[in-house]
């Protein structure tokens, strides 16, 4: 496995090294100057552009060029927002803003926020922007996502371009030279064509070919690189990983999945024993996943570059846990993959939560009480009564209330009434 992903190793250190984004660079510099003069044009900018065009890179390079401390947060990790808020509000005069102690705040990938799961995130960010005494950069793959409407009005939008063929070739050639890879201009050109303007994708393809062959030719590229395409569904992702013959195949399956990395971890845990027959292979598969989980935890603490190892371990790490793969006679085995039990349980418990809700509303209506009260005062006794008007499922759920009564309320904070139900349950058990 590679020591360091090349796209990280060769990430531009300064704005001057960033290719193809001249207008954005100029605008950002003049924005910074306005902060230095103590009259910021705007508090926050939103860098908008598809994956791999340099959004994160530019924010990091800007901080380095202006000798500022970069406070980085992936926007989907909103728990960190409170820390950021505190730092952002701390006053800093223009003399301490820049040079040592100066701070630039990066809220990366704001379109990754799930506004339904995390309703407070966007208002929280708006609040941070309003009160911040430091410049803030936000990034998004698609700033026109409807969930970002409010945010758009609070920031200055700066568009980044997809990388053209010429800048992509320049980036790739530079890396080939540094890594002493023999590079055929046509091979590099073919990678650039297939990457559709995504620098990260191009560099990853280059690395996966060069690490095996030490050279990049047009033929190798045509044989090995899949056209950058739609994302893989969970079953395709599993096949892509388990059936991979090469490192890069497994890696590209793990990174181009429509399943996010946390869910992918569950899919893999469920199916490692389904795919592998040999107990030692299963052991190695779980070992790779457990290490992926450690990296994931650490990257969520703020070191997002580590995410790349999570994909290495979930893709190639799992794929090459199968020892017979190196034998030459290995053949991919077709298996019927299973949904993660977690997903099954969630959907099952959702069904019963829905059934309980419907049943309790029926009771509430008939007895003129609230549906909460129906759950605590009537539902537990329904199994002793003969009543009509309930479906079989509703009856089953009501019959098992001692479990369901508490689950019906997701936060488990229904107050006194719930507590009595709970103590009733414990008494019965003992
Ligand atoms: N404009 C660019 N100039 C030079 N390298 C780039 C550029 N854009 C992307 N790259 C390369 O691709 C990698 C991914 O870029 P990144 O900034 O993380 O993209 P994103 O826009 O998804 O945040 C970088 O580490 C860098 O190696
Ligand atoms: Mg990024």
| DSSP character string of 133-159 | SS-EEEEES-TT-GGGHHHHHTSEEEE
Top CATH class, 6-12+20-159: alpha beta
Ligand 1: lining residues by beta carbon, under 6 Å: 7-8, 10-12, 18-21, 49, 51-57, 163, 171, 199-200, 203
Q: What is the DSSP letter of 401?
A: H
Q: For residue range 120-163, what is the model confidence (pLDDT) as tens digits?
A: 888 889 999 998 989 999 999 989 888 899 999 999 999 999 99
Q: Is there a contact between 75 and 185 (Cβ–Cβ < 8 Å)? A: no
Q: What is the pTM of this model?
A: 0.60
The one-character DSSP state at 232 is: B
The Cβ-side half-sphere exposure at 45, using a 13 Å CA radius, reads: 26
Structure tokens at 75: 């926007």
pLDDT at 256 over 50: yes
- Min mean pLDDT across 51-55, 210-214, 269-273, 414-418 is at 414-418
> DSSP character for 49?
-
Percent of the chain at pLDDT exceeding 70:
87
Instruction: Give mean pLDDT, residues 274-281.
Output: 95
pLDDT at 429: 36
Closest ligand by atom to 52 CA? 1
CA 151 – ligand 1 centroid, Å: 24
What confidence tier does 338 reach under pLDDT thresholds 50, 70, 90? confident
Q: Residue 265 pLDDT > 60, yes or no?
A: yes
CB 110 within 8 A of CB 121: no
Closest CA to 70 of 82, 53, 87, 86: 87
Q: Which of 286, 277, 278, 272 has the alpha carbon at shortest distance from 242? A: 272
Mean pLDDT of 245-270: 87
> What is the CA(259)–ligand 1 centre distance, in A?
23
Name the β-bridge partners of 107: 73, 138
For residue 104, list its beta bridge partners.
Answer: 70
Tokens representing residue 224 in the block: 């090995």
For residue 104, what pLDDT band results from cuts at 50, 70 and 90?
very high
Distance CA 191, CA 171 (A): 12
**364, 370 Cβ separation under 8 angstroms:** yes
Pocket test for ligand 1, best of 5, 14, 22, 54 (most atoms within 8 A of CB): 54
The dihedral built from the CA positions of residue 175, 177, 178 and 179, taken in this order, carries a sign that is positive
- The number of angstroms, rounded, from the C-alpha of 83 to the middle of its chain's C-alpha atoms is 21
The CA distance from 367 to 389, in Å, is: 14
Tokens of 345: 């349980």
The topology (CATH level 3) of 165-224 is: Helicase, Ruva Protein; domain 3 (1.10.8)
Secondary structure of residue 194 in the 3-state scheme: helix
**What is the distance in A from the centroid of ligand 1 to the CA of 52?**
5
Burial of 116 (0-12, 13-18, 19+ CB in 10 A): exposed
Considering the chain, what is the average pLDDT of its residues? 83
**Ligand closest to CA 59:** 1
Q: What is the pLDDT at residue 339?
A: 83
Q: Whose Cα sits closest to atom 4 in ligand 1?
A: 18
Buried b (16+ CB within 10 A) or exposed e, 370-382: ebbbbbbbbbbeb
Average pLDDT over residues 95-104: 63
Question: Mean pLDDT: which of 68-72, 91-95, 153-157, 228-232 is highest?
Answer: 153-157
Phi, psi (degrees; rounded to nearest 5) at 259: -80, 130
CA 121 to CA 129: how far, in whole Å?
12
SS3 70: strand
Beta pairing class for 44-48 and 156-159: parallel
Whole-number Å distance, alpha carbon 398 to ligand 1 midpoint, is 55
pLDDT at residue number 391: 80
Protein residues placing their CB within 5 Å of the ion ligand 2: 55-56
User: Looking at the predicted structure, is the pLDDT value of residue 96 above 60?
Assistant: no
Q: For residue 274, with 0-12 CB atoms within 10 Å meaning exposed, 13-18 middle and 19 or more buried, which class applies?
A: middle
- Starting from the CA of residue 7, give the closest ligand: 1
More confident residue, 233 or 243: 243
Ligand lying nearest the CA atom of residue 6: 1
What's the CA-to-centroid distance between 244 and ligand 2, angstroms?
27
Q: Looking at the CA of residue 21, tell me the nearest atom of ligand 1.
A: 1
- Which run of H or E residues covers position 24? helix 22-36
- The rounded distance, in Å, linking the Cα atoms of 70 and 90 is 15
| Shortest-distance Cα residue to atom 19 of ligand 1 | 52
Tell me which ligand sits closest to the C-alpha of residue 168.
Answer: 1
Whole-number Å distance between alpha carbons of 232 and 337 = 15
Q: Where are the domains of the chain?
A: 6-12+20-159, 165-224, 234-327, 342-429
Ligand 2 centre to CA of 304 (Å) is: 9
**Nearest atom in ligand 1 to 109's CA:** 23
Is residue 309 exposed (0-12), middle (13-18) or buried (19+ Cβ within 10 Å)?
Answer: buried
- Residues pairing with 182 in the sheet: 215
Length in residues, the chain:
430
Q: Which of 205, 138, 167, 162 is nearest to 17 (CA)?
A: 167
Largest CA distance in the chain: 82
- Ligand 1 atom nearest to CA at 18: 3
CB contact at 8 A, 168 and 192: yes
Helix (H, G, I), strand (E, B) or coil at 106: strand
At 101 the three-state DSSP class reads coil
Q: 381 CA distance to ligand 2 centroid (A)?
A: 56
């Amino acid at each position: 496995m590679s020591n360091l992903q090349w796209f990280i190793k060769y990430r531009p250190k300064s704005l001057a090294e960033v290719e193809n984004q001249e207008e954005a660079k100029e605008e950002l510099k003049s924005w910074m100057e306005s902060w230095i003069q103590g009259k910021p044009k705007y508090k926050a900018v939103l860098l908008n552009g598809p994956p791999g065009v340099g959004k994160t890179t530019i924010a990091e390079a800007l901080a380095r060029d202006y000798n500022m401390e970069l406070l980085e947060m992936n926007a989907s990790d909103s728990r960190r927002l409170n820390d950021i808020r505190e730092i952002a509000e701390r006053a800093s005069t223009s003399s301490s803003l820049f040079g040592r102690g100066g701070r630039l705040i990066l809220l990366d990938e704001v379109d990754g926020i799930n506004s339904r799961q995390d309703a407070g995130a966007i208002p929280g960010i708006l609040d941070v922007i309003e009160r911040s005494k430091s410049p803030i950069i936000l990034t998004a793959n698609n700033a026109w996502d409807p969930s970002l409407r409010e945010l758009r009005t609070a920031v200055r939008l700066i568009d980044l371009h997809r990388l053209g063929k010429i800048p992509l070739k320049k980036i790739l050639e530079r890396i080939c030279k540094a890594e002493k890879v023999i590079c055929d201009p046509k091979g590099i050109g073919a990678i650039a064509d297939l990457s559709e303007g995504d620098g990260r994708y191009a560099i990853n393809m280059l690395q996966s070919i060069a690490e095996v062959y030490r050279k990049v030719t047009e033929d190798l590229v045509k044989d090995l690189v899949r056209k950058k395409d739609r994302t893989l569904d969970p079953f395709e992702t599993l096949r892509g990983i388990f059936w991979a013959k090469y490192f890069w195949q497994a890696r590209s399956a793990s990174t181009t999945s429509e399943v996010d990395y946390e869910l992918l971890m569950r899919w893999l845990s469920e199916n490692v024993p389904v795919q592998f027959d040999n107990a030692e292979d299963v052991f190695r598969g779980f070992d790779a996943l457990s290490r992926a989980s450690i990296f994931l935890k650490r990257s969520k603490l703020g070191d997002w570059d580590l995410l790349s190892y999570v994909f290495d371990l979930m893709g190639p790490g799992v794929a090459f846990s199968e020892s017979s793969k190196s034998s030459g006679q290995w053949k991919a085995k077709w298996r019927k993959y299973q949904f993660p039990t977690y997903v099954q349980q969630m959907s099952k418990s959702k069904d019963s939560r829905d059934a309980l809700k419907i049943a309790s509303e029926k009771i509430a209506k008939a007895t003129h009480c609230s549906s909460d009260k129906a759950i605590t005062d009537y539902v537990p006794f329904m199994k002793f009564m003969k009543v009509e008007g309930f479906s079989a499922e509703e009856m089953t759920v009501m019959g098992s209330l001692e479990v369901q009564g508490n689950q019906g309320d997701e936060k488990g904070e229904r107050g006194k009434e719930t507590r009595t139900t709970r103590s009733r349950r414990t008494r019965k058990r003992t």
